[in-house]
Every structure is written in C-alpha cells, then in structure tokens.
Amino acid sequence: MNVFEPMSLKKMKIANRVGVAPMCTYMCLRKDGVAQDFHLAHYTTFAMGQPGLIIQEATSVNESGYISDYCLGIHQPRQREALKRVVDSVHAYPVKFGIQLNHAGAKSNKSGCRKISASSLIEGVEEASLADIQKVISDFESAAKWARQLGYDFVEVHSAHGYLLNQFLSPLTNHRTDAYGQDKGLLLQQVVEAVLKEFDGPVFVRLSGEEYADDGRHIEDTLETVKRLDRLGVSLINMSSGGVSPVAMNVFPMYQVNLATQAKSVTALPLATAGLITQREQIADIIDSGKADVVLLGRLLTRDPFFLMKWRFDLGLISKENTPNYLFRSLSAMK
C-alpha cells in the first residue's frame, strides 16, 4: 500500500505518507511563547504513534507575530531552550519533526501587540512600512537559522489562513501601490528565499488554495503561486483553504483534496492535503490515486495518536520485533 511506502523530500526521508497537521494548542499559559511540559508530552505522544512527519503548530518569528497570548515563539533564547527539549524528545522515535514559522499580522490577538498588515484597512492595524517588511523577512530568516540549530528536520512557511503573508497575497487586504502591491507575491518570495538560504533541509509552504470570497484569491491565483514556489526550490506545498475574509465555508469530508489535486497539474512538487479526513479508506484513496502525496491528520490523531500503528498492525506490517512490548501487547489485544 502506497500509504506506508517511504518518501524522500530533498535529503529527508519519511517512513510513510501520513503526517500530523500543524494545530494551534494555545497552551503557553504564561503568555511568554515558551513551550511547557504540555508541548513536550503532546508532540512526543504523536511521535510514539510513528507518523511520517509532524508539523509543529504556528510559531511566531517575532514579538508581533503571535496569533494569541498563548502561542509559541522562537525569537527569544528561553523559547529556543524549551523547543530544544521538544525536538530531542520527538527524535527518540523514527519521525521527522518540523516547525511552522508564522507572523499573524492583522490577525494577531496578542495583548499589547503592534498590528501590521499589507494595508491599513482595519482600525488598530498599521500598513507595514518598508522597514517593517524588511524586519519580517529578517525575522523569518533568523527563525529558520534557529530551527536548523535546534535540530528540526524541516520548516514550513505559513502563508495561509489570513495571516500576514496571506494578507500580502490577497487582493482583499493588499491595496498597496508600491512593489509589494504591484506584485502581491513578492513578500512571500523574499521570505522563502531568506528561509532557503538559512535552512539546509526541506522547506514547505502552506497556502490557501481558495479564500471563498468573490473578490479574494481563487485556485487559479494559487496555481501561479505554486509555480513560483517550485522555481524557488521549496520541497512541498501544504495546500489548505480559507483566507482573510470570514466567509462561511462549505466543509465536508476531504473538502480540500481537490485543491491539492489541481495544484499537481502545474508542478511536480509533492502536495499535502488535510481537512475532515477520518477514514483509512479515504487516506488510501488519496495516496493510491495520486490526488495528493501526503495526508495530514489533525483531530483524528489527537483523539487516537496510535491510529497509524493500529492500521499497520492490521496489515501485518508490525511485528513484535519492531514494536515496543507494551504497544505490541495493546495492539494484539485490540486484534
């Protein structure tokens, strides 16, 4: 079964085609961006279930990039010290671990945070100056360097879901008349170039394939962005949806898979998909039929971190020799 075949992404090899999607936990209860024991247990538990890869939740690259008071950061030494513990714990298992780097822009809800965006369209949000833009690029670059030093296997640049890089991409929020308005993908390009320079490993980019707003970005726009990222040398596109506008989305099982499939028509890059994928048969169909190359699971693996181990056991891919005794006994009892 293709789901459990290994796959190479640049120099990184993953053991199977299923990963843990990046999911905000909002558990930095001290409001300092520092990972707690919760994060250590959370990501280590995922690793024990042996997915192919794990993408750490959105992690702020600077002091104004947090989504909330309770999100992770990487720009301070104490934050990096705590993240190193998480990385080392996850790497006790045969799993690749990456970090999603993000700047929330106008969507930041952090207390006392200065909010910037492509344009000043909302009260309390400032249009990013050229100096602000250069700082954002520099902070992504520094975050990529720190991620490499901490031992992450890959990084993901978050350019979806209405956060800062998406705000520059979207005509709904980018009304600039300078170079960053004339070329709405310029900031994303410069950020990706900076990250690629500092991180010697796979670089993923998360995109919203569809914003679901009449005047927003649509899949045709996203396909042009995918081609551009391919030329830059990224290793995988994580295709999601939803944007800067709070438009009601029609969600249903596998509702985002078609966006990834359409992107495969314009690139040879691997495509990841996610969104209400809950059944073995759905995952197998997506991978076996080539609709996407990687399936990212969120709530399913949160509920059952050993979902993939059980599946492998049922297929006869797990033996007592390659499974911890406590887990093998548990799987045998379930059988």
Domain ranges of the chain: 2-303, 310-335
Kindly state the percentage of the chain with pLDDT values over 90.
90
φ, ψ dihedrals at 308, nearest 5°: -70, -35
Residue 207 has which token pair?
């995109």
Amino acid at 226: V
Cβ atoms of residues 197 and 141 within 8 Å: yes
Average pLDDT over all residues of the chain: 95
d(CA 45, CA 38): 10
Q: What is the pTM of this model?
A: 0.95
Q: HEC string of 17-68? A: CEEECCCCCCCCCCCCCCCCHHHHHHHHHHHHCCCCEEEEEEEECCCCCCCC
Letter string b/e over residues 70-84, b meaning 16 or more CB atoms within 10 A of that residue's CB: bbbbbbeeebbebbb
Per-residue confidence band for 44, with pLDDT thresholds at 50, 70 and 90: very high
Quote the pLDDT of residue 326: 61
Confidence check: pLDDT of 248 > 90: no
Domain 2-303 falls under CATH 3.20.20.70:
yes
Per-residue confidence band for 246, with pLDDT thresholds at 50, 70 and 90: confident
pLDDT tens for each residue of 172-199:
999 999 999 999 999 999 999 999 999 9
Q: Which residue has the higher pLDDT, 247 or 116?
A: 116
Class of residue 230 by CB neighbours under 10 A (exposed 0-12, middle 13-18, buried 19+): middle
3-state secondary structure of 97: strand
3-state secondary structure of 240: strand
Confidence check: pLDDT of 329 > 80: no
